[in-house]
């Protein structure tokens, strides 16, 4: 197999803090190995539209500490069609790009995998999403920063919750996975953590809140992962609680997209740098259709097919810890 001379890099799906650090690492690893690098703007959409820009070690200066992604990102429907992917391939050929690194989540890897096989084109994935919901890696870029953002926000909410003896429902992101809710919930000392996979149910939640009250707690924080199923949405959940436990004064905070922004944590910068260098190394070893991952603090690569299985499980030990420390 011919090794690449010019590597394209793009960011796809929801942005995550640390994506810039990953792009920077890819570009600098290319420069180190005397390879050219090109940035593709707006993810797969820019690939289809030929929105490319040459990058070099200096064009990525002052990037390691910046949130978001300077290449911009998109969720691209056209890449689901063979016609869109054909246009993308033609653009890459025209620019003499002979390998692609995709920084994104499992949806992006599903597209990258089809593309790689369809055109026998070398593609490597780097997991970048605040959700931490990808198989084959302990951590994804952006997750650690998002956790710190959430904990910081809940610390502030706790001050006002405590001053008014209120119950706060705090909704966090994470799609179906609940990793942000579980870990930030423990870190911020939440009374209850509701995640879709656990499916706690209203009765058990009310029992637990009753116990909290009886044990002398005057205020409470309940972290609710988006996608949690008690009620239509978090406002309906708040109504249920107020109706069944009138002694509680309930307030709702939806943290939303602040979880995706901000300066990346040191952990995310280091992780992104390791993934970027690892991805170029993998291409130079002749690997394709794989995602970089970190398992027990070692950088590894696994086939896309493993990464996009979507069956990552809940950590039972964390649930036990959350239950014990919220007594
Ligand atoms: O995948 C990252 C994420 O922030 C999820 O946590 C959330 O469900 C989704 O993206 C929101 O997507 P959008 O910004 O397109 O509304």
pLDDT at 95 over 90: yes
Tell me the CATH number for domain 6-142+264-307.
Answer: 3.40.50.450
Residue 269 Cα, ligand 1 centroid: separation in angstroms? Answer: 21
Mutate to test the pocket of ligand 1, among 13, 14, 142 (most ligand atoms within 8 A of CB): 14
Burial (CB < 10 A; 0-12, 13-18, 19+), residue 255, is buried
Range(s) of the chain covered by CATH 3.40.50.450: 6-142+264-307
The tokens describing 19, both together, are: 């994506």
What band does 32 get if pLDDT is binned at 50, 70 and 90? very high
Q: What is the pLDDT of residues 69-90, one digit of tens each?
A: 999 999 999 999 999 999 999 9
List, for residues 185-243, the tens digit of each pLDDT value. 999 999 999 998 888 888 989 999 999 988 998 889 999 999 888 888 999 999 999 99
Q: How confident is the model at residue 312 (pLDDT cuts 50, 70, 90)?
A: low
Residue 249 tokens, joined: 């004064």
143-260: CATH architecture: 3-Layer(aba) Sandwich (3.40)
The closest-lying atom of ligand 1 relative to the alpha carbon of residue 105 is 1
pLDDT at 321: 96
- For residue 314, what pLDDT band results from cuts at 50, 70 and 90? confident
**HEC string of 138-183?**
CCCECHHHHHHHHHHHHHHHHHHHHHHCCEEEEEECCCCCCHHHHH
Q: Residue length, the chain?
A: 327
CB-based contact 277:124 (threshold 8 Å): no
Which segments of the chain belong to CATH 3.40.50.460? 143-260
Answer yes or no: is the C-beta of 74 below 6 A from any ligand 1 atom: no
Cα–ligand 1 centroid distance for 14 (angstroms): 6
Q: For residue range 106-125, what is the model confidence (pLDDT) as tens digits? A: 999 999 999 999 999 999 99
pTM of the model: 0.96
């Amino acid at each position: 197999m011919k090794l690449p001379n010019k590597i394209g890099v793009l960011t796809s799906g929801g942005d995550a803090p640390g994506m810039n650090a990953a792009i920077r690492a890819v570009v600098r690893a290319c420069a180190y190995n005397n390879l050219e690098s090109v940035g593709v703007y707006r993810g797969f959409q820019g690939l289809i539209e030929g929105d490319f820009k040459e990058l070099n070690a200096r064009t990525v200066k002052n990037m390691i500490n910046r949130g978001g992604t300077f290449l911009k990102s998109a969720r691209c429907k056209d890449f689901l069609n063979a016609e869109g992917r054909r246009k993308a391939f033609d653009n890459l050929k025209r620019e003499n790009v002979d390998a692609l690194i995709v920084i994104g989540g499992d949806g992006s890897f599903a597209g990258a995998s089809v593309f790689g096989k369809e055109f026998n084109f070398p593609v490597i994935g780097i997991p970048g999403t605040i959700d931490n919901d990808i198989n084959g890696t302990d951590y994804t870029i952006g997750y650690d920063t998002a956790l710190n953002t959430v904990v910081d926000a809940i610390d502030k909410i706790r001050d006002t919750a405590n001053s008014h003896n209120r119950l706060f429902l705090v909704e966090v992101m994470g799609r179906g996975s609940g990793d942000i809710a579980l870990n930030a919930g423990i870190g911020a000392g939440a009374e209850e953590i509701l995640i879709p996979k656990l499916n706690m149910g209203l009765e058990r939640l009310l029992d637990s809140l009753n116990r909290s009250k009886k044990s002398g707690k005057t205020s409470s924080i309940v972290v609710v992962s988006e996608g949690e199923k008690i009620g239509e949405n978090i406002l309906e959940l708040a109504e249920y609680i107020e109706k069944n436990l009138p002694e509680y004064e309930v307030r709702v905070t939806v943290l939303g997209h602040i979880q995706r922004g901000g300066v990346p944590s040191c952990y995310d910068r280091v992780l992104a740098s390791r993934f970027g260098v690892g991805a170029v190394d993998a291409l130079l070893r002749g690997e394709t259709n794989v995602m970089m991952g970190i398992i027990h603090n070692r950088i590894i690569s696994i086939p896309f097919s493993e990464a996009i299985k979507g069956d990552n499980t809940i950590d039972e030990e964390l649930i036990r810890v959350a239950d014990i420390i919220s007594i």
